[in-house]
C-alpha cells in the first residue's frame, strides 16, 4: 500500500507560523510522525509540500495509478481552488482532507471547503494529531474497498 501526503501553501512555516492557531510542531515533525505511523502498519508514505497551486494539481494528477490514497491539507487553496478540487476528482485516488485548526471556529471565508466534497472524509481541529487520524481513517476505508 502506498500513500501520498500533500501539504499546501505556507505549511512549511509551521512551528513559527501563528503558533496560537497551528501549534509549535514543524511540518518535518508532523511528516515524521505520519511516516512512522504508516511504516508501523507496513504502509509506504511519500510526502510533498508546495506553495504553488499548479504544482499541487500536477502532483495529484500524477498520483493516479501510483498511490492507493492521499492525505491532503490544501491549506488556503481549500477555500479557493476549483483546480485542486477537479484534480482530486479526476485522479480517482481516495483522498482525506486534514486541517490543523478547526476552520469553522475561524473567519467566515474559511468555513467553506471546495475540496471536501470530493474527499472521502475530513479531519480538523486536532493539530498535528489530525494527520494521524486522517491516515487511520484513510487506511480503514482502503481496507474495506
Ligand atoms: C489550514 C486552514 C486554512 O484555512 C489555512 O489557510 C491554512 C491552514 C489548517 O490546517 O488549519 O493555511 O489548512
- CA of residue 79 to ligand 1 center, whole Å: 9
The answer to whether 87 and 57 are in contact (CB under 8 A) is: yes
- Structure confidence at residue 68 (pLDDT): 98
Neighbours of 62 (CB within 10 A): 13
- Structure confidence at residue 105 (pLDDT): 98
Q: Quote the CA–CA distance of 127 and 5 in Å, as a whole number.
A: 15
- Which pLDDT band holds residue 28 (cuts at 50, 70, 90)? very high
Phi/psi region, residue 143 (left: phi>0; alpha: psi -120 to 50; beta: rest), is alpha
Ligand 1, atom 12, lies closest to the CA of 75
Neighbours of 36 (CB within 10 A): 11
**Model pLDDT for residues 75-126, shown as the tens digit of each residue:** 999 999 999 999 999 999 999 999 999 999 999 999 999 999 999 999 999 9
Best residue among 10, 12, 97, 99 to mutate for probing ligand 1's pocket (most ligand atoms within 8 Å of CB) is 99
**Model pLDDT for residues 56-89, shown as the tens digit of each residue:** 999 999 999 999 999 999 999 999 999 999 999 9
User: E strands within 1-87?
Assistant: 2-7, 44-49, 69-73
Ligand 1, atom 9, lies closest to the CA of 99
Going by C-alpha positions, the residue among 40, 56, 42 that lies closest to residue 7 is 56
- CA of residue 75 to ligand 1 center, whole Å: 4
- Structure confidence at residue 48 (pLDDT): 98
- CA of residue 120 to ligand 1 center, whole Å: 19
Neighbours of 52 (CB within 10 A): 11
Q: What is the mean pLDDT of residues 38-53?
A: 98
Q: Nine-digit cell at 41?
A: 502498519
Q: Compute the 3-state secondary structure of the chain and give helix, strand, coil in percent, each to the nearest 5.
A: 50, 20, 30
Ligand 1, atom 13, lies closest to the CA of 75
Residues with CB under 6 A from ligand 1: 10, 73, 75-76, 78, 99-101, 103, 110
- Which pLDDT band holds residue 145 (cuts at 50, 70, 90)? confident
Best residue among 76, 105, 125 to mutate for probing ligand 1's pocket (most ligand atoms within 8 Å of CB) is 76
- Structure confidence at residue 133 (pLDDT): 98
> What are the beta bridge partners of residue 133?
none
**Model pLDDT for residues 2-24, shown as the tens digit of each residue:** 999 999 999 999 999 999 999 99
CB-facing half-sphere around the CA of 145: CA atoms within 13 A: 13
Amino acid at each position: 500500500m502506498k500513500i501520498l501526503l500533500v501539504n499546501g501553501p505556507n505549511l512549511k512555516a509551521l512551528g513559527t507560523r501563528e503558533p496560537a492557531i497551528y501549534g509549535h510542531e514543524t511540518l518535518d515533525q508532523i511528516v515524521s510522525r505520519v511516516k512512522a505511523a504508516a511504516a508501523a502498519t507496513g504502509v509506504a508514505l511519500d510526502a510533498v509540500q508546495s506553495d504553488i497551486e499548479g504544482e499541487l494539481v500536477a502532483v495529484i494528477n500524477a498520483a493516479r495509478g501510483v498511490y492507493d490514497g492521499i492525505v491532503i491539507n490544501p491549506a488556503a487553496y481549500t477555500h479557493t481552488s476549483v483546480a485542486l478540487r477537479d484534480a482530486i476528482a479526476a485522479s480517482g485516488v481516495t483522498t482525506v482532507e486534514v486541517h490543523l485548526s478547526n476552520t469553522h471556529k475561524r473567519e467566515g471565508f474559511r468555513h467553506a471547503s471546495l475540496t471536501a466534497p470530493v474527499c472521502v472524509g475530513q479531519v480538523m481541529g486536532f493539530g498535528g494529531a489530525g494527520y494521524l487520524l486522517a491516515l487511520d481513517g484513510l487506511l480503514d476505508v482502503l481496507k474495506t474497498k
